[in-house]
Amino acid sequence: MIINHASRAHNHNWELDPVIRSLLDTDFYKLLMLQFIWKNFPNTRVQFSLVNRHPAVRIADIVHIEEFKVQLQHVRGLRFRKSELVWLAGNTFYGKRGIFEPAFLEWLEKDFHLSDYQFRVRDGQIHLTFDGTWAETTMWELYTLAILDELKTRAQLKTLSEFGLDILYARAKTKLWGKIERLRGVPGLSVADFGTRRRHSFSWQQFHWDLERIPGSQARPRSYWYKRSRASHGHGRAGSR
């Protein structure tokens, strides 16, 4: 299904439109790191904070604060689905089968959860602190940044008319396709997607993954999209829902 991004943005009136729909919506390396932490540092306690590197940008004045809190609570309530764990267990990654240990996958199913957090707003900035075991906190990194970036996107899109949104996405698709045309035919090309933490939106990133199924795009070498869509993103690997 091809998403009409302009119409979706213009008609955006859902009570909750989750930015993160699955715990697999993260960079694949985070899952590998999580297994390493679980195995070697299960009881190590850590604390990390979200910091805006450009304080001149008053991010708390841009995003909807209450929506941000709702999105964080939504993610904290997510759990790995049985089907996702079966998929992780049964596939080959980077030429290696069984890269995730059975005991780790069992832990993901029965015991994994995200830590609590402290949230406050001061001087136009959002201050988020995560405190807990390393395994409980590490996955927050990408979920939090993806939420913040998409809420920023949604706030900016609300300033555009339906026509303005249509022009915006038409130009974006043209720019994207121009890049694909330049890459077509490059032998041995492999592209890794590490854009989750700074993406425009989940649906736009999904559009990139699904582009090969759009009529008229079959001429593109499949190896490029196979490597890109499965190289480094958990949700892109398991497929969208």
pLDDT tens track for 17-55: 899 999 999 988 999 999 999 999 999 999 999 989 898
- φ, ψ (nearest 5 deg) of residue 201: -170, 165
Q: What mean pLDDT is reported for the chain?
A: 84
For residues 138 and 29, the answer to whether their CB atoms sit within 8 Å is no
pLDDT tens across 201-219, in order? Answer: 888 888 877 775 544 444 3
CATH superfamily of 5-238: nicotinate phosphoribosyltransferase (3.20.140.10)
pLDDT at residue 92, rounded to an integer: 85
Burial letters 198-228, b for 16+ CB under 10 A, else e: ebbbbebbbbbbbbbeeeeeeebeeebbebb
Pairing of strands 92-93, 125-133: unpaired
Distances (CA, A) of 159 to 119, 133, 163, 165: 27, 41, 12, 9
- Which residue would you say has higher pLDDT here, 224 or 173? 173
Residue, of 96 and 15, whose pLDDT is higher: 96
Handedness of CA 205, 209, 211, 214 (dihedral sign): negative
pLDDT digits (tens, 9 = 90+) for 166-197: 999 999 999 988 888 887 778 877 777 777 88
Q: Which residue has the higher pLDDT, 236 or 76?
A: 76
pLDDT bin (cut points 50, 70, 90) of residue 2 is low
Tens of pLDDT along 97-131? 899 999 999 999 999 999 999 999 999 999 999 99
Amino acid type, 234: G
Q: How far is CA 186 from the centre of its chain?
A: 27
The reported pLDDT for the residue numbered 234 is 55
List the chain domain ranges.
5-238
Q: Which residue has the higher pLDDT, 119 or 234?
A: 119
Predicted local distance difference test score (pLDDT) of residue 121: 95
CA distances from 17 to 21, 116, 150, 227 (A): 9, 22, 11, 29
Confidence at residue 221, expressed as pLDDT on a 0 to 100 scale: 33
pLDDT at residue 42, as a whole number: 96
Q: Which residues pair with 77 in a beta bridge?
A: none
| 132 DSSP assignment | E
Which pLDDT band holds residue 11 (cuts at 50, 70, 90)?
confident
